[in-house]
Amino acid sequence: MTRVKLASGTREVVLRGLTGRDEKFLLQQKARDPARVVQDLLIACLDGVKSIDDWFLGDVYHALVALRIETYGSLYEFKFICGNDRCKSQSNAQVDLAKIPVTPIQKNVNPDSLEFKFADGKAAVMRLARGRDLNVISSMLQSPGSGLTQALILQTVRYDGKEPVPGIYDDYSLRELVTLRDFIRTNDCEIDTGIQLNCPKCGWNGLGQIRFTPDFFLPSETQRPT
Ligand SMILES: [Zn+2]
């Protein structure tokens, strides 16, 4: 059992590492939505937590990283395919999960009332995404035709003084909507899940990302506890 202070700086949890029973759970759930499986796994390993619906997403991701560290140690080794089309060779890479940068929420930020002014003078009140949004976000990522605009509506509390309705952002430029997304990000807590990848064969550099799928938590051939 380990006590961890999570990314937001406002939540502390106690968690245990995975057991053989957890591996069985992960292997038996392959047909389900991976985001839900991973949430169920996390809750099972947290002491005294029944739901993560109210958690900031940065805290959820941070707890998932902490769960992996508690189970296998901080060294995460994985394979990746080179992004250079003429190379495409497979290489090994590793990340020290204990050293991933974390950004807390600033003290003056109200996570449920972030005011953003559009260039047309209209105002939107936004909120930070929570654990309960994860399922919506993960099913949105799988369905075609939904992206940034949909995600922004999900996080809108009020738009132009009214309840948000579908289509409110349809006429805004994507440039301005990206500015709104970045505005929310600068107020949010975060654990940086980007990974710098370098291909040793051709010298290609690219950015990968830690994916919180069941595979992230299953033992692999290369894992050695640190
Ligand atoms: Zn390469």
Each residue's pLDDT tens digit, 105-162: 999 999 999 999 999 999 999 999 999 988 777 666 666 656 888 889 999 999 999 9
Q: Are residues 155 and 180 in the same domain?
A: yes
Residues 164-180: tens digit of each pLDDT: 999 999 999 999 999 99
Mean pLDDT on 40-65: 96
Residues 148 and 95 in one domain: no
Asked if residue 126 and residue 96 are part of one domain, the reply reads no
Residue 81 CA, ligand 1 centroid: distance in Å = 8
Q: Hey, how many other C-beta atoms are within 10 angstroms of the C-beta on 222? A: 12
Per the structure, the count of domains in the chain is: 2
In a domain, residue 68? The reply is yes
Is 6 a residue whose pLDDT tops 70? yes
Helix (H) or strand (E) holding 152: helix 148-154
Position 20 confidence tier, pLDDT thresholds 50, 70, 90 = very high
How many Å lie between the centroid of ligand 1 and the Cα of residue 198? 8
Domain assignment present for 44: yes
Sign of CA dihedral 219, 59, 134, 194: negative
> Cα of 79 to ligand 1 centre, how many Å?
13
Which residue range(s) make up the domain with 165?
Answer: 110-188
Identify the pLDDT of residue 190: 94
Q: Which residue has the higher pLDDT, 156 or 225?
A: 156
The continuous run of DSSP H or E covering 45 comes out as helix 34-45
What's the whole-model pTM score?
A: 0.89
Q: Which helix (H) or strand (E) holds 69?
A: helix 57-72
Residue 205 lies in a domain: no
Distance 207 CA to ligand 1 centre (A): 13
Residue 35 pLDDT level (bands cut at 50, 70, 90): confident
So what's the pLDDT on residue 124?
A: 98
Report CA(90)–ligand 1 centroid distance (Å).
8
If asked whether residues 79 and 133 sit together in one domain, one would say no
Residues 74, 98 within the same domain: yes
Rounded CA-CA distance 143/131 in Å is 20
Mean model confidence pLDDT for the chain = 92
Specify the amino acid at residue 95. V
| 34, 69: one domain | yes
| Dist. CA 213 → ligand 1 center (Å) | 25
Question: 203 lies in a domain?
Answer: no
Candidates 133, 134, 116; CA nearest to 125 is 116
- Mean pLDDT score, 39-54: 96
> What pLDDT score does 222 carry?
62
Query: Per-residue pLDDT tens for 178-204?
Result: 999 999 999 999 999 999 999 999 999
